[in-house]
Structure 1
């Protein structure tokens, strides 16, 4: 046999693999190389995954941002279509266009949500620190999707459609739409509150400033939207019956004169009786405060129980149930509404279903929507001049009190007439509702219902004008004019509330409240009726000098540790109203002067921003609130 034949004939050992000996590429070396190659591939794949995920997040994030910006543009267009600053009489976008804008915004937000969903975004958001901006962007997209889909759609659907000629049913149609969509509006309010809470829980300080800014902006928008959706939901429950959908209603409407301060705003001046019948609004009559001065509030047992012994004790000297000018001395509007209704019942024998208060600033908001109106004497009332005309100019124009009061009534009648026409025009109604919303948020439109079930629903909302009786930090500056003139047109007010340090004593946290009041009244040239000193002080005064009862409303169980006026020790009276500690100072405020009252308090629960009471006067209150850290008593 040849050498080749001998190699071929070598028998295989049992268990051996064919070609395992002497065959190139075989044996243990090849398996090791395969394993190393597979491991290297796996390691490269694993190493590439974060890069791929980052690229994916970056690309989809850019597209998601584009979708959210598109949704924002749709919402801006929708908001501008109902802005009260539009030209009076210009039609609002049709219901079809309105709903199309909502659908477009909803589609964009839904795409943004889909782009930021999935395993990659979910996993990245769970990473400590590195995933914080991912979680923020993902949460913001989810919030936008829920808001457009579950909140804006029912809100837009609840607005009545407007015919080209404005004959879409006006207020009556709006009330029916509210009632029809009440369940959806309640759901929208609930969803908004949930989304707001979710957004506030998102990381707010990350390594990506753009994500932080987006989250902060969304949180601010939700802080405004959540109360609005709650107000709309409440309105859907109570406005239809209150405005006569189920039967006629009548309300006492007071026009408050904010040139003379009272607890709820200004002294009650002109008044009217508003009639609501199946959504149709009209005025039965107008009058002035002279007609009501002799009326004493005829309080029944339920009225007396609602006012309570605390009210009687605090305001005994002011006699709010017997002196019409002091009927709204308390900042708690339900007290005033109840007294006004009782006084009207005593004077006329007629019952009203509630009370409403407005002021000239409210009228200016309405005139922005309706346009100017001309009075019978030729005077034109506009959004720009109605406050100055009724609160300042008219006192110089009319020396005779009777003529001046008649002018006030005529101004109220003219503005109200134009308002009623706008309420019946479905083209103007959405903008009018926006103006109403802003007026009530500023505390300048207040409503009280004589029907207990309705009042219970209304009372927590800003338009009820209720002084809240829940515990927690609170700051309220309330002034009542004690001179009897009209100098509060020239009053400036500021309040600084500051919690001190991070610790607490046994009685709460130290809080310093600084109240500054300035009298800008000129030294000469004002009519005598404006500078009147009906209080007849025993000391010498000059024209333009004012006198105020200054009350500071603190939180429940707050205690006063010291007070100064212009740097000198001051004595203030302590009282309680609806659970609030109240500290009051009788203050002379000479013309051109500025006085500073500093209160040192111990406030329980002063570890968060206090609820702020803003008394609506001519010049808005300037307030600065500086809460401290968490308080551990």
Structure 2
């Protein structure tokens, strides 16, 4: 008996000695996490050198943690009752941290190849496909490590009686950062797989480039008034000439082409290529545009890249000013005004200057994309532009198009079956008054217990044009805004009432009986002088605005912006059914007395909100 007690006592002493190093695990783990967070923040600020220093510090802390959690003491403690589950949780946390740090170290290895002065990925407007293949392999390793980290974190139970709360909090904190990254990689991986082919790795690819003028809007965005094309063959880029209405009039002639099936907005008869993009979705407008382009130029195009001057301004903010002959220095601050809103200079000489600048923008766009200057920052700028629908890539290859879609680069409208807001305007004449339009949307949603809703939407467009001297409707400086305002309804929505209030009074508006790809369209044409406004007020029932699951209700709303110069403002008020109260709201939402609200604010680009309430 005494021997047994002595042996047990000795075992306790040994276990205590083996456990001593575990005391430092929480401190080292927190330090590693802090360093990784600082590394990410530094990289977002384009301070790569500082970011990698934080990664190196994180590695030191992670190694201390893993040396302990993989040691003999931790392994023995992991099978002991009571404390074992906590040690196993700590080992999973350590493994996850090691995976995260390794993924950052892999990024450090590949970073010089894709960004900075020593980058070999981009050279003289071409892409080195061998370097690209190396970078893609590194991205695969990063993806594998990030997914491994997520799996380890999900293995953390957080139920240990002694340290369960601590490990659960560490797990939840880490998952909040890791899961969005993994979801982002899930969206990015298909595009990475398609990139070599898109860049001509399996044969020449031809892409049309169109610059949109946001002072003359279509439902999709600004009117396409300047075009070019590029050929990519084995990564080597060859640019075509830039064409506009002055230098290539045949491109803008009226012609017939077969409209995209289901495009109820396509006009009958002959059309100009500038009217090909009347549909707000670029998978529709892009195909319409390429059908016109291919007939006129006798090309066989693989895709269309459309961007407006706001998108280029965002890129210039990253890559530096442009020097344009006979124009001067063009920066991110003055580019939009020089090209679309310089109403103070409209004599013939100034018009010619503007045309020269417009023709210089497409080559500048291609040069900046393939320059290699702050590649990461450039890609981030492209992503922000796509989110605001100032930039879109339409690709005819189904696999390539499917890869673009999850990232929001395809310019498609939301395909949601739930609540939806999309209000677009169409300039009906040649004036450039859209530069000054401001849209404000107010949606009031009254949910029912079955998940359906009665929605009242007010869409106001204000013409902030300064009162220049009146001129012809097609004159550049005429302040009159002659347009159609169109609201695209949620799928399955039944219109109850629609009125338009404008300077001429109030009138009823009918919905288009032909649905546009499953959505009803309510449109109103109006002429607004300087400082006048129009309000389209709609009431409609949405059959599945929310999903009901037992005592839980999830309301879902997607909003597609119109890429105007002034971003639109939006306010959303959601009234929950009696007995329900909000349990989870997205950032920026508030709740009081059964009503959740997004206060009037600028729409943050393409937006999808999910709000949850419980009975």
TM-score band by shorter chain is 0.7 to 0.9
1:609 to 533, 546, 556: 556
1:521-563 CA distance string (max 9 Å, x none):
24512674677699xxxxxxx9534433222341x32323334
Residue aligned with 1:160, SS: helix
Provide the rounded CA distance (Å) in 1 between the counterparts of 2:153 and 2:482.
48
Provide the rounded CA distance (Å) in 1 between the counterparts of 2:174 and 2:225.
42
Call closer, same or farther: CA 1:423–1:459 in 2, change over 3 Å: closer
Compute the displacement of 1:249 (Å): 2.4
Residue aligned with 1:342, SS: helix
Indicate the structure whose relative CO is greater, using CA pairs within 8 Å and at least 6 residues apart: 1
2:192 to 229, 233, 236: 236
Provide the rounded CA distance (Å) in 1 between the counterparts of 2:243 and 2:121.
33
Which has the larger displacement, 225-234 or 181-190?
181-190
Provide the rounded CA distance (Å) in 2 between the counterparts of 1:182 and 1:212.
34
- Say whether 1:79 aligns with 2:44: yes
Compute the displacement of 1:382 (Å): 0.8
Contact 2:121 2:132 in 1 (8 A): no
1:600 to 537, 540, 551: 540
The structure where strand makes up a greater share of residues is 2
1:61-109 CA distance string (max 9 Å, x none):
3442222112222222333336xxxxxxxxx75xxx8777656545645
1:190-245 CA distance string (max 9 Å, x none):
775797799899999xx99999799579637754x356434542332222222223
Call closer, same or farther: CA 1:398–1:198 in 2, change over 3 Å: farther
Aligned residue number for residue 562 of structure 1: 497
1:265 to 198, 216, 221: 221
1:30-53 CA distance string (max 9 Å, x none):
x9xx9xxx9xx99xx9xxx9xxx9
Call closer, same or farther: CA 1:533–1:403 in 2, change over 3 Å: closer
Call closer, same or farther: CA 1:422–1:66 in 2, change over 3 Å: same
- Say whether 1:573 aligns with 2:511: yes
Compute the displacement of 1:470 (Å): 5.6
Provide the rounded CA distance (Å) in 1 between the counterparts of 2:469 and 2:144.
53
- Say whether 1:548 aligns with 2:484: yes
Provide the rounded CA distance (Å) in 2 between the counterparts of 1:416 and 1:187.
35
1:250-295 CA distance string (max 9 Å, x none):
2211101111222221111111122323333342101114633215
2:239 to 267, 283, 286: 283
Compute the displacement of 1:354 (Å): 1.4
Aligned residue number for residue 440 of structure 2: 494
Call closer, same or farther: CA 1:520–1:141 in 2, change over 3 Å: farther
1:315 to 265, 268, 277: 265
The structure with the largest alpha-carbon Rg is 1
Contact 1:498 1:628 in 2 (8 A): no
Compute the displacement of 1:458 (Å): 2.8
Aligned residue number for residue 581 of structure 2: none
Contact 2:62 2:94 in 1 (8 A): yes
Call closer, same or farther: CA 1:232–1:249 in 2, change over 3 Å: same
- Say whether 1:324 aligns with 2:251: no
Aligned residue number for residue 139 of structure 2: 185
1:162-192 CA distance string (max 9 Å, x none):
6856666436456444434546635755775
Provide the rounded CA distance (Å) in 1 between the counterparts of 2:497 and 2:68.
59
Contact 2:206 2:229 in 1 (8 A): yes
Compute the displacement of 1:510 (Å): 0.7
Residue aligned with 2:45, SS: helix
- Say whether 1:64 aligns with 2:29: yes
Given the two structures, how large is their TM-score scaled by the length of structure 1? 0.70
- Say whether 1:398 aligns with 2:349: no
Provide the rounded CA distance (Å) in 2 between the counterparts of 1:544 and 1:378.
28
Contact 1:370 1:418 in 2 (8 A): no
Contact 1:469 1:579 in 2 (8 A): no
Provide the rounded CA distance (Å) in 1 between the counterparts of 2:237 and 2:543.
46
**Structural RMSD (CA):** 4.9
Residue aligned with 1:446, SS: strand
Q: How is 1:192-203 mapped onto 2 (pairs within 5 angstroms)? A: none
The structure where helix makes up a greater share of residues is 1
Compute the displacement of 1:392 (Å): 0.9
Aligned residue number for residue 245 of structure 1: 201
Compute the displacement of 1:365 (Å): 1.6
Compute the displacement of 1:516 (Å): 3.4
- Say whether 1:621 aligns with 2:552: no
1:477 to 399, 423, 429: 423
Call closer, same or farther: CA 1:199–1:456 in 2, change over 3 Å: same
Gaps of 5+ in 2: 159-163, 547-553, 575-609
Call closer, same or farther: CA 1:221–1:511 in 2, change over 3 Å: farther
Provide the rounded CA distance (Å) in 1 between the counterparts of 2:218 and 2:444.
26
1:441 to 387, 394, 403: 387
Call closer, same or farther: CA 1:386–1:193 in 2, change over 3 Å: farther
Call closer, same or farther: CA 1:175–1:521 in 2, change over 3 Å: farther
- Say whether 1:219 aligns with 2:155: no
- Say whether 1:525 aligns with 2:525: no
Call closer, same or farther: CA 1:345–1:416 in 2, change over 3 Å: closer
